[in-house]
Structure 1
Amino acid sequence: MGTKRDATARQMRLAVELRRLREAADLSSREAAALLGVNSVQISQIESGVSGVSEKRLRRLAAHYSCSDSELIDALVVMATDRTRGWWEEYRGHLPTPFLDLAELEHHATSLREAQFLYVPGPLQTEDYARAVYAYRVPELPREELELRVQHRMRRKVTLEGPTPKPYKAVIHEAALRIMVSDRAASRAQLSRVIQLSEADHIAVRVIPFGLEHFAGATSAMTYAEEAVPRLDTVVRDGPHGAAFIDSEAQLGSFRTLFRKVESVSLGPERSRDFIHRLAKEL
């Protein structure tokens, strides 16, 4: 395959996993290239996401690396050969790349989990709520870009409400549900929206109330995207300088544990729905 520009986060993940397999086999780029019958520059381009890799070459590399995990190899082949140009491509060049990478990640995930403590999770947000969040950004966004971001966020709902919705779990702190990012009417509509979505069979919303004792997990906010092979899972964390995509095995294990901990102390789905109903009545 030829070289390509602006590799997506998914393409970069494929490149990183191939490098990890080579390093696990204790082979240099030069040695891997010799086994494949190419030069080391081509291996470097594949492992940096500059160049794609065919299914045939990928399977040959996996064999040379003595990788016997057939599920992992098959999943990497899917990543290498997928030609999906999803709806998010319409925003390329108009929105920062992480917006597109997140939408692509959600599209390919087998299921999604979120833990949020200050904001309602993106896929559950109403248009008014999302607009209020983006409008508060400093420096302020030009009107056109603000509306593009709101539109993009609304289109991400296809993950939960499209023809093939993904299983979705959200743990939300009471703070996120009480903070009125807009006016009272918008807040009431947002809570109603969360209640409505939580009634779907594939969506589970759980609440962590203020009154919970011994809870110190408010720094655990995350989006956890599960893949067919756990090794290929990804965690997304929002920060002051943008979204960070985390994929090392050790960190993934830590975030799985963190999610289990915050989920274990939260209210069950039915009690959470009743809790949100009470909050909505207070508005």
Structure 2
Amino acid sequence: MGLRGNPSQRQQRIGFELRKLRDATGMTAAQAGRHAGIGGTHLGHMESGRTAVPPGRLRTLLDAYGIESEPYCRGLLAMNDSTGRGWWSSYRSDVSSSALDLAELEATSKSQGVFDMMYLPGLLQSPEYARALLESANQDADRRSTERFLKFRLQRQEILTGDSPARYHAIIHEAAFHMDFVDPKVMRRQLGHLLDMARLPHVTIQILPFKSGGFPAVGTPFTLFRATSPELNTVYLEHDAGSVFFGDQGHLDRYDVIFGRLSSVALPALLPEAEREFPMERDSFTLLQHLAYIL
């Protein structure tokens, strides 16, 4: 079997974990490979995600590296057993590989922590808002491309309304509501959609107002995906130069702290009016009311 030319994020992550574990033991690739009955070069291809890791050899390597955490082992084995094929596979010719990786991560993660400052997060966008945003940002795109990407985005949202939805916590900067990307009427209806999403018991939405103290040093939207084992969490950064996925402990720790800080300085979570008392202090709902009024 030939080497993969463009391994997915999941395949690269499996390799990254294997290399991290081997480095922690001080073994060379040749030494570790002997435990699994393969050459050092073959193991190197596994560690780069360029070739598959047979389940039996993965278990042997985990034993050789002295890994005793059952959640971590189960999580890595499950990641390795996955075919990577899901509903998103039918969009391979319509969206980027990083978008496919994002959809797969969303479908397999235990929870998400999302921060955005220019747009409403994709999983919280109403169809009308999403369409207006896509048409505004991609004015040269043909109609079919826009329709396929819109369908892809809306299908991603089903993880919040399915039978076993993951926890979802979004922090949205107030600036996102003032951006003149869509018609005010579209934005006003989008605010109503946010209220509908906030009624879901597994969804938490906070708004970070302009006047908030102690804003942490973060300059780009990000999503912190949490797995069943914290070692397998992933940070996703989205920007014009291309999307990036991080799985190293340094980035995981940094963005976990940042998200916690953002949550602490953001307004209390959005609660529909029927489920709250008259506000004695500022919260996300009263700011949303104000935003709807001034649109």
Assess same fold via TM > 0.5.
yes
- Aligned equivalent of 2:265: 265
SS of aligned partner of 1:17: helix
Measure how far apart 1:220 and its partner are: 5.2
- Aligned equivalent of 2:227: 227
- Aligned equivalent of 2:91: 91
Aligned partners of 2:41, 2:135: CA distance in 1, in Å?
46
Residue 72 (structure 2) pairs with residue 72 (structure 1): yes
- Aligned equivalent of 1:28: 28
- Give the total of aligned pairs: 283
Aligned partners of 2:34, 2:294: CA distance in 1, in Å?
69
- Aligned equivalent of 2:156: 156
- Aligned equivalent of 2:202: 202
Aligned AA (1:272): S
Which has the larger displacement, 100-109 or 86-95? 86-95
Measure how far apart 1:133 and its partner are: 2.5
Any unmatched runs of 5+ in structure 1?
none
Residue 279 (structure 2) pairs with residue 279 (structure 1): no
Aligned partners of 1:69, 1:136: CA distance in 2, in Å?
48
Counting only pairs closer than 5 Å after superposition, residues 235-246 of structure 1 correspond to structure 2 as 235-246=235-246
Deviations 1:245-283 (CA, angstroms, capped at 9, x unpaired): 111101110000000111001111133123213322333
- Aligned equivalent of 1:120: 120
Counting only pairs closer than 5 Å after superposition, residues 3-82 of structure 1 correspond to structure 2 as 6-82=6-82
User: Percent same amino acid among aligned pairs?
Assistant: 30
SS of aligned partner of 2:238: strand
- Contact kept? 1:110, 1:226, Cα under 8 Å: yes
- Contact kept? 1:117, 1:218, Cα under 8 Å: no
Measure how far apart 1:141 and its partner are: 2.5
Aligned partners of 1:214, 1:41: CA distance in 2, in Å?
49
Aligned partners of 2:210, 2:190: CA distance in 1, in Å?
19
- Contact kept? 1:128, 1:182, Cα under 8 Å: no
TM-score, normalised by the number of residues in structure 1: 0.93
Measure how far apart 1:214 and its partner are: 4.3
Deviations 1:24-50 (CA, angstroms, capped at 9, x unpaired): 111111111222222223212211212
RMSD: 1.9
SS of aligned partner of 2:26: coil
- Aligned equivalent of 1:168: 168
Aligned partners of 1:199, 1:94: CA distance in 2, in Å?
32
Alpha-carbon spacing, 1:38–1:217, altered in 2? closer, same or farther (3 Å)? closer
- Aligned equivalent of 1:129: 129
- Contact kept? 1:195, 1:276, Cα under 8 Å: no
Deviations 1:81-132 (CA, angstroms, capped at 9, x unpaired): 1235211001113211011000000001000111111111110011222223
Measure how far apart 1:75 and its partner are: 1.0
- Contact kept? 1:172, 1:208, Cα under 8 Å: yes
Aligned partners of 1:220, 1:250: CA distance in 2, in Å?
17
- Contact kept? 1:198, 1:273, Cα under 8 Å: no
- Aligned equivalent of 2:280: none
Alpha-carbon spacing, 1:66–1:278, altered in 2? closer, same or farther (3 Å)? same
Residue 191 (structure 2) pairs with residue 191 (structure 1): yes
- Contact kept? 2:84, 2:104, Cα under 8 Å: no
Measure how far apart 1:55 and its partner are: 2.2
- Aligned equivalent of 1:177: 177
Which has the larger displacement, 150-159 or 40-49? 40-49
Alpha-carbon spacing, 1:157–1:260, altered in 2? closer, same or farther (3 Å)? same
Any unmatched runs of 5+ in structure 2?
272-282
Measure how far apart 1:61 and its partner are: 0.5
Aligned partners of 2:31, 2:227: CA distance in 1, in Å?
31
Aligned AA (2:284): S
Aligned partners of 2:43, 2:212: CA distance in 1, in Å?
52
